[in-house]
Every structure is written in C-alpha cells, then in structure tokens.
Structure 1
C-alpha cells in the first residue's frame, strides 16, 4: 500500500460566505444517548479474532466498585458495542487519607486488538496524537471525572499508575454519552432471511450511524474529517437508511463554499471550529462533488440547492477536462486520481471511466436546469471518451479493459468502466465474469472503499450471486474477526494488516465501509 501527503500550502481558496452561511444554518443538534457498560473483561488469545486477540468476561459490571485498585492494577470496561461520545466515571478512595495524587491512565479502544500493542512502541507515519489514551493526575478524591474529549470506542481500560501504599482507588457509575446526528426514529429496519447478510446489513447501519456527527465524518476516532469520496458513499447509505438529507446538504454547501481559486474542490475539509479546506486535491474526489449533488437532488428534488451549487459542479467538469485530450484522460501529477490507496496498479483507465461517470451525472443536472449550452459542450467530449474507451482500451480477446502503456489488466479498470455504463449490460456481465476468472482473488487492495465499487459493479452487471459472495467474503469476514463497525482498511489475505504498522491508530469505524446497507437495499430488496 502507498500514500503520499500533499502539501499545497501556496494554494489560495475562495470563501463564498453565502454558501458557508447556508451550511452553518444547516448545523444539526446531535442526539445523545446514555450508555452503561455491560461487563468487566480481559484480553485473551483468540486465533479467530483480529490480531488473535479476543475478550473474556471476568466479572459483572455491578461488581466494579468491589475492585480496589493500586499501583499497576487495571480494569477494562466493555460497553457491548461501538459508540462515539463522552466518558465519565466516579472515583473515590478507600483506606487511609489521600496522601498522594491518583495517577490514572485511561485507554479507549475500538477493538480488543488494540490491547495487544503498547502505544509507547508506535512509530508510524501518522501522528501518535491520535492514540486514544489519557494520563490524569487527581489531587483530591472523591470526584466525578468528566473527560472533555470525544472518543470512539467499545472498551475503556482504567489503569492505576500509582496511588500510595496507604489507600486504593475505587471506580463506580461509568457511563458514556453517545452522540450522532442520525435518528433511529427515521430508520426502518429490514428483515433478511439470510442471517449472514442480516448481520452485514446491521453492522453497516451502525457504522454509518457512528460516523454521522455534525458532518459525515470519515472516522470518528481518526481523522474526524469530511472527505468527498467518503461523503459520496455515506450519502447513498443514508438515503437507504436514516434519510438525513439535511446533513448531506450541509456537507455539499461546505465543499461548495471553499473551492480553490483555480476552481478545484479540496478532497476534504476540517469542520472542528471554523470550516477550513485541506490542501489536498484529488481529481476523482472533485468529480464526486457532482455525483453527490446529483444523488442528493434525485433523493430530495431540491432544485434550489442545485441552482446554488451548479456553478461549483460545472467548474469541476472544466478542471477535470483539462486532463482530457481527444477523448483520452492524461494523468496529471498535480491533480492525481485516487481510486484506491494502493499505487500497485495503473489508474489511467479507472480515471477515464470515473470522468465518464461524472460527466453523465453532470449532464443530468444540467438537464434539470435546462442548461442546454453546457450539455452541448460536454456531450461531444463524453461521446469521444466513450468511443476511445471501447475502441482503444477494450481487449476483445480477454474481454477486459487495459490500462497504461503496459496494457495492464486490473480490477479497478473493469469495475469503473462497468459503473460508468461504458458497455452494454451483456458486455458488462462478460467483463465482470472475465475479471473474476482472471484477476481474482483480489490482492493489494485493502479498503472497503474499493471493495464497495467492486461489489456495486457485480450487482450492476446482474451478477447478484457474485456480489453477495463478495459481501460475505469481505464485510462478513470483518464481522467474523470481531467487527462491531467496519474498518478503514482490511486485506482478507492479510487479516492483521494495518496501513500504519499498528492497530492503535487504525480506524475501526470508517465511513467508506458503510455501504452494504445501500447495496443490499438497492439490489437485493427492490
């Protein structure tokens, strides 16, 4: 896997205050739920779980205040599921008067696997400040300890660094206030006869729920940012579940209000405090602004928002087409196409298809506003790109698209050409069947983001059984390894894989993993 930080701090941004004011006005009040832990647990070796680490119950939670903790003692609380929110607990002492501060280390973990690693050993390329640990000194007990920071977790470890030989710490009444902008009252559960698909669906919904905060966050543990690629998928899952269209609209206005001076939309924005665009730019993410807007208008029929944001969408087309000449996408290192984290495959043909995909959606938006001049400009370029794809990139012998100067066959090329509707339904089925025969099992791709598009292409091509098989082999395998919510990164062929070298900073509730609910609802229930 590979990733490169972009540093473009010389880029200047527009701040369209009218659009940003509309985004601010759409800010939702988060709904809170008080959750109590269900057990006291300890990590155990379990070869069936992630990093061969599971949890076993060692005591009832009602006995928490019977545990008297001194130096190096600990208890781990299990809240029974993954949550996002604020933690509090009561602490008192027993024994002689408190003659020294309580030094306490609190660790929050999304999975048992995180307890198999020592945070002091972490030396990855992501900041260790994301590690969910706090060291606190408490001079006077008793106290109700309310931690101001928000965490994403299922487990809480309370470890006493030291007290004094004369007294012990006792903990009681732990609880978390879980937060989300999603409303279970707007959610209609589905009942599936296939119990494995039911679990896959339910975990998908929980993943989406925990990522729906004041914006659609990519991961509530890390990075807590609004990314366009994630938003595109989260919004689709949202329409199939919570139908919180206001949140989608708010996110669209945030992106639309902070484009760069050259028109490009940042790949992500920071929303903790005053909104601020990141200096990262990805061609496909920029185009997914069009896709997300088109999907939103289809779901809401909100033409007023379309009118507000249409100029931003149009600009993404203009910027992207600077990379297209005679119907051919020519990659630009200053505006790369993402497709997936991995740089182990050529992305040129996938990029070609993604542009086609977005141009079709842009034309659909233009039709709704009767912008015939824009349609007449874009349609010939779209036709030329489709013709080049079929005539020059499609290998009729292998029934696969090639990519790059080495005529590489890869999964992403086939998937995106099918999703873009470049070929007929019958040819799409043939391409996806050939892809499975020639290019499976998938290797070197470790994100639910890319796996979503593979599954979607199977379903679009009418290969329902293959789509279901992929859902079970990928998302279902995460559940078997202990997932309460879907992970940022997962390689079925290397189940302990972390892009950062340690699960301590990996995100185990990540937005781009939430789409099985959308896929199941769209392709298996309709």
Structure 2
C-alpha cells in the first residue's frame, strides 16, 4: 500500500514537472535552442586585425560655402612640426590621418622645460568630416545621447605620460585643445597613434581594366566603408550605435559576398540574432555584444527587418554553401514568415495601418513623408518567396506548403489595389501617393513585370510631388529594381550621381544620410551626430562587382 502511494506521488510529481516544463516552453519558443545558437555565434567570432596608424599632416579647417557642410581642410604641414615644439603655443591644432579609421587612440607627452608640478588637461575632438571639429556640441538637443559625439576630456596627472583613451573612436581628423596646464613647466606631444581594428585583412579582386574612374572611386570608398563596419559583428556605424541591426546585416552581407567573402562574420550575426530573439520567436531589430550579448529590449518590432532576416539566411547559404547553419536557423526563418499573417486582410493586402497601431515599426526608409503600404506589401511578398526558395533548397517545402498560394494571393491583391493602369504606376495609401519606394518594391517582389518597372521608373522623373528616397538604404533597392527592370544604364547613372556625389564632396567612407540638396539633413536634428561611415551605404560594392557587364565597362 505504501509502495503504491509512493508510485502515485511520483507520477503526480513527474506530471507536474512535465506540465511546468511545457509552460516554460510555451513562454519561450526557442528556449531549447538558444544556448547552442549563442555558442555557435561565439565560435564564429572573427579575430580583429590591428594596424598602427600615425597622423600624416597638420591641417586647418576653413570656412567654404562650396564644401560639404560649409567646411573643408587645407594645408599639409608635416606632423614633425607639432612634435618639435611646445604644445602650449599650438592648442587647437588639427591633425589629419588622411583616411577614415576605427580604433584606439594613444598620445605620448614629454616635458621639455621645468619640473611638471601640476596636471595637464586636454580636449580631443575626433571628426569623420571637417564640420564636426568646428560645430559647437553644446547646442545639441537631439533625441540621441550626447555621449555619441566624439569629444573626450582627459586629465594627465604625471609627465612624461603615454595615455590610451578607453573609448574606441572612428574618425579622420583630430583636434587637440589644451584646457589647463602649469605656468612653471613646458611640454610637447612626442607621438600619436591609432591602433585600428577590423576583421578584414584581405584585398578583394581588382576591377576590370578600363572601369570608369568614378565607379572605381565609388567601389574603393564602398570597400573602406564596409571594412570599417566589419568588426566582431556587422556594425551599422563604428562611430554611433555600434551594434548589429538586421537591415544593415542584410546589405553588408551582400557587399561582403562580392568582395571580402568573410562568411563567418555573417554566420555569427545570424546566430546572434537567433539566440537573442524574443520569447515569441520574433526577432529584435538590433542586438549588442557587450558586456555580454543582449537585445535592445523595449524597441518596437521592426517588421520589414525581421522579414529580411529570412533573405539574409538564404543568401548566406548561396554564398557559403553552409547547409548545416541554414538548417539550424530554419525554425527562426519559419517563425518570421508567420508574422505577416497577423495583419493580413481577407483581400490579400497587409494591413499596415493596423500594424502601426499595434506599435509595429515599418521602416522602409528615413523619409517621414513616405506612405509605406505598397512597399511593405512588396517586402512581404519578396521575403515569403525567398523563404519558400530556401525551404525548397533545404527540403522543407512541406513545412511552408501554404506560401505559394499566399504569395499569389498577395500579388494579385497588390495589382488590384495598388496598380494604376492608366498612369502605369503603383500608388500607396489613401492619398494614392507615388514614390520611388513603392515602384522599387513592386519590381523586386515580382508584382510588376520588367516592362512595367521600366515604364514606372521612366515616368517618375516627370512627377512633381514624387516622394524620393531619404537615404542610401532605399537608394540600394531602387538600384536593384532598375537592374531587374533591364535599366542597367539608369542604375549606373544613379550610382554615379548619388554615391558619386558623396565622393565629389570628399567622402572617405559613405554617409548614413545624404541628400544632394541638403548637406545638413539629419534624422536626429543635429548633423554632427550623423554617422559618416555607415553600413547601409556600402552597397555599390555589391552592384559594381556582381554586374561587371553594367558597371565595369
């Protein structure tokens, strides 16, 4: 009798344990996989290659209304002149490293007269572009942290000294101001260096001989941008944010596939995002590595970025041949493909208005004037098509057997509700807005035919109130759509005009935000806090190298 009671109690306890385990699994759909995913992410973490870089010359930042943001650098004095005399007479000096660098700055200070009897205090201001060195930061009232602006005040207690700033910086120019010193001794700067970091240590294949010189420059600046952003994750910008965003990952991986081919970095990022996904299985749009890997909690679900994760996994498989990783991440891909169903209307249209009411972030582009209905419809169709293609390659078609019919239904709905046959253009939202974004995503998704894409893009130039892209992120998709529409010459002209415009204005790396008609445009209300080396702007590298018949002839 006692043994029977013990057996019954054991069964009850076992049942309770299974129930509780089931409840826990219900709370976190990927609880059993997270540990391994994060372990795989860590195993794929690349080694950072370091190089010591020295300033090349002393320059002056001068006002010039014809230059980008009204300032340019001039002069080419040797840095040895800085090292050979008292710094007290040189406070405010600017040194030029001649290229954009990311890493850790070290300064060496020596006494040249008298006994050091008090501390020295300096302000270092690091600038990616000249205007950052001469625009007072005190006026900043934007929504992002003031701490992203790259000015550092240090106090040096003893001289001689060799001081390394703990903060990693990203810059080309450095301004040094002396804020405090003793009248009873003199000193000089003896040396300066930057220990630059990147996970890239190879040079991609050269472009074809005879490639247009501006295309070659754009490719070179694009490679520099990508290299600086390829740290231990694909960073969106080495100066500001310094985290992994899905949208940047997708575009950086495309460029990497055609240049450096560092597929382990892509693998690491895909695993990090999976391992740090929300308990419901949907992806956070951005994650951090330090002090330990964690998501940016509290941020809205960025719908279009989560869908692009699926495309990134499929592209990774194509580029690397790593079927094991794609199979491992398939549950995450499959989960993201479920999200459009939450707001899918009976007529086959995605309900973007309801999604935004539910606090979903529909990005598409920085331009606040953009109506996103048509673009989001296209992104959903494209992502689901790419997801099904990935499933086919992995032998998982049965798990997503509903997708072909869903894609056809959404495509038909887009043509019925968004395509104006008389104008030959896709319209978006209740006001029937015409935008580059809408045409681009209707083409990329396959809703528009090649001929329709051509007609639409040709018609846009004559539309007075057409909504243009707000940043290089959307310009990428416009170029992609033009190529898909058979408009290679127009795509090349767009890259020459837009990215070439940045090169002509002195870009060493491509900028986060660029409007040819407004050098001071900033989504954050203060242009110095913009990122002037930004991941999503590197993609001319992808186009120039993937389509040599268009861009290298």
Question: What's the TM-score bracket when you normalise by the shorter of the two chains?
Answer: over 0.9
Aligned to 1:4: none
How many positions carry a matched residue from both structures?
514
Aligned to 2:225: 207
Give me the whole-angstrom Cα distance separating, in 2, the residues matched to 1:404 and 1:441: 14
Q: Extract structure 1 runs of 4+ deviating beyond 3 A.
A: 11-15, 439-443
Q: Does 2:472 align with 1:454?
A: no
1:479 to 484, 495, 503: 503
Render the CA deviation track for 1:445-467: whole Å, top value 9, x for unaligned. 43110111112211221112211
TM-score (norm 1): 0.94
1:310 to 319, 324, 330: 330
Render the CA deviation track for 1:100-124: whole Å, top value 9, x for unaligned. 2111111111110112211222221
1:330 to 327, 340, 351: 351
Q: Does 2:263 align with 1:245?
A: yes
Q: CA deviation at 1:503?
A: 3.0
2:207 to 190, 211, 214: 190
Within a 5 Å distance, the mapping from 1:92-111 to structure 2 comes to 92-111=110-129
TM-score (norm 2): 0.90
1:160 to 149, 157, 178: 178
Say which SS state the counterpart of residue 422 (structure 1) adopts.
coil
Q: Contact 1:227 / 1:269 at 8 angstroms: preserved in 2?
A: yes
Q: CA deviation at 1:489?
A: 0.8
Q: Contact 1:253 / 1:309 at 8 angstroms: preserved in 2?
A: yes
In terms of Rg, which structure is larger? 2
Give me the whole-angstrom Cα distance separating, in 1, the residues matched to 2:172 and 2:247: 26
Q: CA deviation at 1:163?
A: 1.1
Q: Does 114-123 or 395-404 show the bigger shift?
A: 114-123
Aligned to 2:421: 396
CA RMSD of aligned residues (A): 1.8
Unaligned runs of 5+ in 2: 1-26
Aligned to 2:368: 343
Aligned to 2:311: 291
Q: Contact 1:48 / 1:480 at 8 angstroms: preserved in 2?
A: no
Say which SS state the counterpart of residue 528 (structure 2) adopts.
coil
Render the CA deviation track for 1:347-384: whole Å, top value 9, x for unaligned. 01100000001011001111012223234211111100
Q: CA deviation at 1:473?
A: 1.8
Q: CA deviation at 1:274?
A: 1.2
Q: CA deviation at 1:155?
A: 1.0
Aligned to 2:340: 320
Give me the whole-angstrom Cα distance separating, in 1, the residues matched to 2:89 and 2:82: 17
Distance 1:193 1:368, change over 3 A: closer
Distance 1:496 1:456, change over 3 A: same
Distance 1:94 1:13, change over 3 A: farther
Q: Contact 1:98 / 1:140 at 8 angstroms: preserved in 2?
A: yes
Aligned to 1:469: 493
Distance 1:500 1:169, change over 3 A: farther
1:128 to 146, 155, 174: 146
Give me the whole-angstrom Cα distance separating, in 2, the residues matched to 1:219 and 1:324: 34
Q: Contact 1:72 / 1:162 at 8 angstroms: preserved in 2?
A: no
Distance 1:157 1:116, change over 3 A: closer
Q: Contact 1:410 / 1:439 at 8 angstroms: preserved in 2?
A: no
Q: Does 503-512 or 218-227 show the bigger shift?
A: 503-512
Give me the whole-angstrom Cα distance separating, in 2, the residues matched to 1:428 and 1:441: 16
Aligned to 1:518: 542
Aligned to 2:412: 387
Q: CA deviation at 1:193?
A: 2.4
Unaligned runs of 5+ in 1: 1-10
| Greater percentage in helix | 2
Q: Which has the higher contact order (CA 8 A, sep 6+)?
A: 1
Q: CA deviation at 1:248?
A: 0.2
Give me the whole-angstrom Cα distance separating, in 2, the residues matched to 1:72 and 1:202: 35
Render the CA deviation track for 1:143-166: whole Å, top value 9, x for unaligned. 111122211011111211121223
